[in-house]
Amino acid sequence: MKHKINIIKVGNSLAITTAVIYFICIIAVWVAPVFTTTIGNYLLHGVDITKLVTERTFIFSVISFVIGTVMAWLTGALFAIIYNKLE
């Protein structure tokens, strides 16, 4: 028997997970911008991102949060569609 996964539930799960992590990241950048830039440098294997850092406004954070969450939902839904087709 084939086991199909629910496209909406997978999309929602990935979107919610991404939204929570993204929100924590936004708060961290607001509270500790130097620390988060340093972490970014470590994650990019020492690439200096200090020249790429821009001032974050509230609206920038909201828009990027929405875009990231929507992209995560679409990624989860696409994953479920492909999984169901391969099953």
Residue-range domain boundaries for the chain: 7-86
Q: How many CB atoms lie within 10 A of CB 83?
A: 14
pLDDT value of residue 65:
96
Q: For the whole model, what pTM was predicted?
A: 0.82
pLDDT value of residue 72:
98
Burial class of residue 64 in the structure, from the number of CB atoms within 10 Å of its CB (0-12 exposed, 13-18 middle, 19+ buried): middle
Q: What is the rounded average pLDDT of the residues 39-58? A: 86
pLDDT range class, residue 1, cuts 50, 70, 90: low
In the chain, what percentage of residues exceed pLDDT 90? Answer: 71
pLDDT value of residue 48:
86
pLDDT of 57 strictly over 80? yes
